[in-house]
Structure 1
Amino acid sequence: MNERFLGEFVLPGVAHSVAVARHCVEEMLTAAGHRDMENALLIISELVTNSLLHTASGLHGGVVTVDVVAVDAEVVRVEVTDDGADTVPQARESGGDDCHGRGLWLVEQVSLRWGVRLLGAGQCAVWAETFTGQVVPVCAGEGVAAGVARRERGVKG
């Protein structure tokens, strides 16, 4: 892989940081030549929001750290590190009336792949990779292109 580190920034654990994170990621990706960044911006919004809602990052004095990496010319990885929680982030299905609980499910739907790295002191980093080119990549296995093709054909799973 020819990964290229694009940047890192630390934001306070307040609601306004979600918009700031989106703006910073958009600026970094634009400067690096990435074009189709809607999924990356959705992902960063969801990951920062989850950190603020479900970890110590959302408490007084908490912070989130965001890293942005160009995996290659058309794929980026965004990663959010939090201040720690008692649980490990996981995608789940929410009921139709639930106000929360769809964030990681959305990340799972729009990312090529995503995961969680457990760090010391209860901290974890949640990351996701997404395509930032203008043409959806052809995938033989699972991933966005395969999932979209299945949904278009009406196939579940």
Structure 2
Amino acid sequence: MVKELETLGQVELPAEVTSVPKARRYVRELLEGSAHAQTDDALLLVSELVTNAVCHSDSGRVPGGRVIVAVARHNGTLHCDVIDAGSARRIPWLRTEVDFDSGGGRGLWLVQKLATAWGWHETTTGRVVWFQLGGA
């Protein structure tokens, strides 16, 4: 039997570094009591994607820029979207070589390593970067 998509929640936050822990806390509260086997991975990946949205998209460069985090569950899979204004200058880029001593550059590498699936696409109003984790 195929279950329908179950929306767990969505939050819109200012595109500021201070929103990263707020996004993580929001997702943690959504997943409390769900016994999701990969809650810690979900929190890490949301943190990475919100950080990327704030630092690399137009959302973080314009006054009043916003980032949206949307979380859903479908057939045992957790699905998270991070939605921002996109960028004409930058696209999500997965580094194949990672410097573990540097202070950054590992966000999408972590997403690729931990997520069951991930990707990104442009919309009429910006960009969506998403990931899925099995075991919901």
TM superposition score normalised by structure 2: 0.86
Indicate yes or no: 2:71 matched with 1:68: yes
**Does the aligned pair in 2 maintain the 1:34–1:132 contact within 8 Å?**
no
Alignment of 1:1-150 (within 5 A): 1-2=2-3, 3-31=5-33, 33-36=34-37, 37-59=39-61, 60-73=63-76, 75-86=77-88, 87-92=90-95, 93-121=97-125, 123-132=126-135
Name whichever of 57-66 and 41-50 sits farther off.
Answer: 57-66
Identity %: 35
Tell me which amino acid in the other structure corresponds to 1:8: Q
Distance, in Å, in 1 between the alignment partners of 2:99 and 2:35 is 35
Greater helix share, structure number: 1
- Compare CA radii of gyration and give the structure with the larger one: 1
- How large is the RMSD of aligned CA atoms in angstroms? 1.7
Tell me which amino acid in the other structure corresponds to 2:35: H
Tell me which amino acid in the other structure corresponds to 1:88: I
4+ residue segments displaced more than 4 Å: none
Distance, in Å, in 2 between the alignment partners of 1:38 and 1:128 is 14
Distance, in Å, in 1 between the alignment partners of 2:109 and 2:26 is 23
Q: How far 1:132 moved relative to its partner?
A: 4.1
